[in-house]
Protein backbone atom coordinates (compact mmCIF):
# COMPACT_ATOMS: atom_id res chain seq x y z
CA UNK A 1 0.00 0.00 0.00
CA UNK A 2 1.29 3.44 -0.83
CA UNK A 3 -0.46 6.66 0.10
CA UNK A 4 1.48 9.85 -0.65
CA UNK A 5 0.61 13.53 -0.76
CA UNK A 6 2.77 16.34 -2.08
CA UNK A 7 1.48 19.68 -0.85
CA UNK A 8 2.17 23.16 -2.19
CA UNK A 9 4.71 22.06 -4.81
CA UNK A 10 5.82 24.89 -7.09
CA UNK A 11 6.14 22.86 -10.27
CA UNK A 12 7.91 25.55 -12.28
CA UNK A 13 10.57 26.07 -9.60
CA UNK A 14 11.07 22.32 -9.20
CA UNK A 15 11.51 21.79 -12.94
CA UNK A 16 13.93 24.72 -13.20
CA UNK A 17 15.91 23.40 -10.23
CA UNK A 18 16.11 19.96 -11.87
CA UNK A 19 17.22 21.49 -15.19
CA UNK A 20 19.92 23.64 -13.59
CA UNK A 21 21.11 20.82 -11.38
CA UNK A 22 21.55 18.39 -14.27
CA UNK A 23 23.26 21.00 -16.46
CA UNK A 24 25.66 22.08 -13.72
CA UNK A 25 26.65 18.68 -12.36
CA UNK A 26 30.09 18.88 -14.02
CA UNK A 27 30.59 22.60 -13.44
CA UNK A 28 31.62 24.33 -10.26
CA UNK A 29 28.16 25.67 -9.62
CA UNK A 30 27.70 27.53 -6.39
CA UNK A 31 24.82 27.42 -3.96
CA UNK A 32 24.14 31.07 -4.83
CA UNK A 33 22.77 30.00 -8.21
CA UNK A 34 20.19 27.77 -6.58
CA UNK A 35 19.06 29.93 -3.65
CA UNK A 36 16.43 31.94 -5.59
CA UNK A 37 14.88 28.71 -6.89
CA UNK A 38 14.99 27.08 -3.46
CA UNK A 39 13.31 30.14 -1.96
CA UNK A 40 10.58 29.95 -4.57
CA UNK A 41 10.18 26.20 -4.11
CA UNK A 42 9.91 26.42 -0.32
CA UNK A 43 7.95 29.67 0.11
CA UNK A 44 4.51 28.03 0.08
CA UNK A 45 5.11 25.59 2.96
CA UNK A 46 5.96 22.63 0.76
CA UNK A 47 5.47 19.24 2.42
CA UNK A 48 5.53 15.55 1.63
CA UNK A 49 3.16 13.37 3.61
CA UNK A 50 3.34 9.57 3.45
CA UNK A 51 0.68 8.36 5.87
CA UNK A 52 1.10 4.76 4.74
CA UNK A 53 3.75 2.92 2.80
CA UNK A 54 3.53 -0.74 3.67
CA UNK A 55 4.08 -4.28 2.54
CA UNK A 56 2.03 -6.79 4.52
CA UNK A 57 3.89 -9.99 3.56
CA UNK A 58 7.28 -10.69 2.00
CA UNK A 59 8.46 -13.97 0.52
CA UNK A 60 12.19 -14.62 0.46
CA UNK A 61 13.65 -17.98 -0.63
CA UNK A 62 10.22 -19.60 -0.26
CA UNK A 63 9.69 -18.32 3.27
CA UNK A 64 6.87 -15.85 3.94
CA UNK A 65 6.98 -13.33 6.79
CA UNK A 66 5.55 -9.97 7.83
CA UNK A 67 6.85 -6.90 6.02
CA UNK A 68 6.96 -3.29 7.15
CA UNK A 69 4.98 -0.10 7.63
CA UNK A 70 6.32 3.39 7.15
CA UNK A 71 4.82 6.81 7.90
CA UNK A 72 6.62 10.03 7.08
CA UNK A 73 6.02 13.76 7.11
CA UNK A 74 8.59 16.13 5.66
CA UNK A 75 8.04 19.88 5.86
CA UNK A 76 9.96 23.02 5.11
CA UNK A 77 10.90 25.22 8.07
CA UNK A 78 8.62 28.27 7.80
CA UNK A 79 11.06 30.66 9.48
CA UNK A 80 14.24 29.57 7.72
CA UNK A 81 16.93 32.29 7.68
CA UNK A 82 18.12 32.32 4.06
CA UNK A 83 20.94 34.72 4.94
CA UNK A 84 22.48 32.00 7.13
CA UNK A 85 23.59 30.29 3.91
CA UNK A 86 25.99 33.17 3.22
CA UNK A 87 28.24 32.08 6.08
CA UNK A 88 27.45 28.39 6.22
CA UNK A 89 26.15 26.41 3.22
CA UNK A 90 25.37 23.49 5.57
CA UNK A 91 22.73 25.70 7.21
CA UNK A 92 20.48 24.40 4.43
CA UNK A 93 19.97 21.35 6.70
CA UNK A 94 17.88 23.65 8.92
CA UNK A 95 15.38 24.04 6.08
CA UNK A 96 13.85 20.57 6.44
CA UNK A 97 11.92 19.01 9.31
CA UNK A 98 11.02 15.34 9.09
CA UNK A 99 9.33 12.69 11.20
CA UNK A 100 9.54 9.09 10.07
CA UNK A 101 8.11 6.04 11.81
CA UNK A 102 9.13 2.58 10.67
CA UNK A 103 7.79 -0.75 11.93
CA UNK A 104 9.46 -3.85 10.54
CA UNK A 105 9.20 -7.55 11.27
CA UNK A 106 12.09 -9.20 13.06
CA UNK A 107 12.62 -11.46 10.05
CA UNK A 108 12.96 -8.50 7.67
CA UNK A 109 15.40 -6.71 9.98
CA UNK A 110 17.46 -9.91 10.27
CA UNK A 111 17.69 -10.21 6.48
CA UNK A 112 18.62 -6.53 6.05
CA UNK A 113 21.21 -6.62 8.84
CA UNK A 114 22.90 -9.69 7.30
CA UNK A 115 24.15 -7.42 4.50
CA UNK A 116 27.53 -5.96 5.59
CA UNK A 117 26.62 -2.60 4.03
CA UNK A 118 23.61 -2.34 6.33
CA UNK A 119 25.05 -4.12 9.36
CA UNK A 120 27.04 -1.17 10.72
CA UNK A 121 24.12 1.22 10.32
CA UNK A 122 21.79 -1.23 12.02
CA UNK A 123 24.23 -1.46 14.95
CA UNK A 124 24.36 2.32 15.28
CA UNK A 125 20.63 2.85 14.82
CA UNK A 126 19.20 0.50 17.41
CA UNK A 127 15.46 -0.16 17.03
CA UNK A 128 12.93 -0.41 19.82
CA UNK A 129 11.52 -3.93 20.27
CA UNK A 130 7.76 -3.88 20.73
CA UNK A 131 5.14 -6.58 20.15
CA UNK A 132 7.60 -8.78 18.24
CA UNK A 133 8.52 -6.02 15.79
CA UNK A 134 11.31 -3.48 15.42
CA UNK A 135 10.42 0.20 15.59
CA UNK A 136 12.32 3.28 14.53
CA UNK A 137 11.15 6.80 15.31
CA UNK A 138 13.34 9.16 13.30
CA UNK A 139 13.18 12.91 13.70
CA UNK A 140 15.20 15.47 11.76
CA UNK A 141 14.75 19.06 12.90
CA UNK A 142 16.94 22.15 12.77
CA UNK A 143 19.84 20.12 11.38
CA UNK A 144 19.68 17.59 14.22
CA UNK A 145 18.88 13.90 13.81
CA UNK A 146 17.32 11.78 16.56
CA UNK A 147 16.70 8.06 16.40
CA UNK A 148 14.17 6.80 18.93
CA UNK A 149 14.55 10.01 20.92
CA UNK A 150 18.36 9.83 21.11
CA UNK A 151 20.68 12.21 19.24
CA UNK A 152 22.42 10.50 16.35
CA UNK A 153 26.17 10.72 16.80
Using CB atoms within 10 Å of the CB of residue 7, give its burial: 0 to 12 exposed, 13 to 18 middle, 19+ buried. Answer: exposed
Residues in CB range of 46: below 8 A, 6 or more apart: 6, 7, 8, 9, 10, 75, 76
Cα dihedral sign, 16-22-23-28: positive
Quick: pLDDT tens for 26-71: 555 566 778 888 889 888 889 999 999 999 999 999 999 999 999 9
Q: State the pTM of this model.
A: 0.82
* More confident position, 29 or 133: 133
Q: How confident is the model at residue 122 (pLDDT cuts 50, 70, 90)?
A: confident
Amino acid sequence: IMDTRLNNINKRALEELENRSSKNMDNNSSMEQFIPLLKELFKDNISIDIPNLSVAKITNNGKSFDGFKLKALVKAEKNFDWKSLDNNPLAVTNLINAKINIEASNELVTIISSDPRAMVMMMIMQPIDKNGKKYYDIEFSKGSLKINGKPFM
